[in-house]
Structure 1
Amino acid sequence: MLLRAATVDDAHGIAVVHVRSWQAGYRGLMPQHVLDGLSIAEREAGWARILTETVRGSQTLVVERAGTLVGWASFGDARDADAAGTGELWGIYAHPDAWSTGVGHLLIDGVERALVDAGHEAAYLWVLEGNERAASFYERHGWASDGATKVDRRPGMVLHERRHVKRLG
């Protein structure tokens, strides 16, 4: 497996992983009509835009296996006012066919190293309430819930999330 920085040419592969991982990982946690309505083409356009911008120190890493993109992670400076000065893991996903193959470990390790290199001593991420698979993954990698929660209102759904934090370095 190869871990590397994403380029705009990765937009399609990232979009495929994004949609397929949401459809599998969030089944029963998000409304099914929302998951069924996810569009790879729309996500690809969004990712092409994201990958050409640099906002809040944003970076995206990808993992390839046999030339196929199988995972990605996006991260940068904290977006939440109460966490200024820390890093944030904005999203990390692996294609369902690549779950439990080490893709996530490679990504989270790469993200943590990059956040340290950017000068962050600590970082946080948000986990969808009820997503025990993800929470367990983060906990195995030293991230712990700090008790903070938030509500994320999106079209057709209201998401409840828990914050996990980690001291880096």
Structure 2
Amino acid sequence: MIIKPLISEDEAKETSRLFQKCWQNTYKDILPDVFLDNIPENAWVKRLNESGRHNLIFIDDDNKIRAAVSYGRPRDTRMLGCGELMALYVEPDFQGFNIGKTLLNAAENELKKMGYGKIYLWCIDGDENARQFFEHFGWVNNATEKFVEIAGKEYKYLLYQKNLHD
């Protein structure tokens, strides 16, 4: 098992399929089934390759990508000066083995090396597992919200932040 930067197009495609699978599992009681069932497996390929975005992948002993984290410069103009944790997904069968913690620590360390003292992420309201996970590792919900339209309906996202210089 290794953690390494995502570098190839094949890795981006496999990571996108991982994100698709995780969305379908994680958000099944939050987002509409018709939306989740129709997420294309390549939906994240272009985003994974965006300028300013960095990705680390966790590869198991069978050479399959089972988890990934994305981070980098902020996409939200209100958060300039902060680093962003854009995504952290661990395949359901691999949760509970500290893979998420390891990827989170790696992303936080990389963001710190990039010069960010404060980092943020957006978490969809209703994803209690994610909220508890991030809170356990020192992330704080600062009561800021935004609404994102998904499948014709607005969903609330909660802002979490962490100071890297504590």
The TM-score, its normalising length taken from structure 2, stands at: 0.92
Q: Does 1:61 align with 2:56?
A: yes
Matched residues in 2 for 1:27 and 1:155: separation?
Answer: 14
Structure 1: segments with no counterpart, 5+ residues: none
* Post-superposition CA distance 1:76-105 (Å, at most 9, x none): 111222221110101111111111122211
Matched residues in 2 for 1:130 and 1:52: separation?
Answer: 28
What secondary structure is seen at the aligned counterpart in 2 of 1:142? coil
What secondary structure is seen at the aligned counterpart in 1 of 2:71? strand
Residue number in structure 1 paired with 2:103: 107
**In percent, how many aligned pairs have the same letter?**
26
Q: Give aligned pairs, total.
A: 163
Q: Does 1:149 align with 2:145?
A: yes
Matched residues in 2 for 1:167 and 1:109: separation?
Answer: 13
Residue number in structure 1 paired with 2:93: 97
Residue number in structure 2 paired with 1:4: 4
> Aligned AA for 1:3?
I
> Aligned AA for 2:5?
A
What secondary structure is seen at the aligned counterpart in 1 of 2:147? strand
What secondary structure is seen at the aligned counterpart in 2 of 1:162? strand
**C-alpha RMSD of the superposition:** 1.4
Question: Against the structure 1 CA distance between its residues 52 and 90, is the aligned structure 2 distance closer, same or farther, given a 3 Å change threshold?
Answer: closer
Q: Which runs of structure 1 show a deviation greater than 4 angstroms over 4 or more consecutive aligned residues? A: none
Residue number in structure 2 paired with 1:33: 34
Q: CA deviation at 1:74?
A: 1.0
The TM-score, its normalising length taken from structure 1, stands at: 0.90
What secondary structure is seen at the aligned counterpart in 1 of 2:70? strand
Matched residues in 1 for 2:114 and 2:164: separation?
Answer: 11
What secondary structure is seen at the aligned counterpart in 1 of 2:131? helix
Matched residues in 1 for 2:66 and 2:54: separation?
Answer: 17
Residue number in structure 1 paired with 2:21: 20
> Aligned AA for 2:2?
L
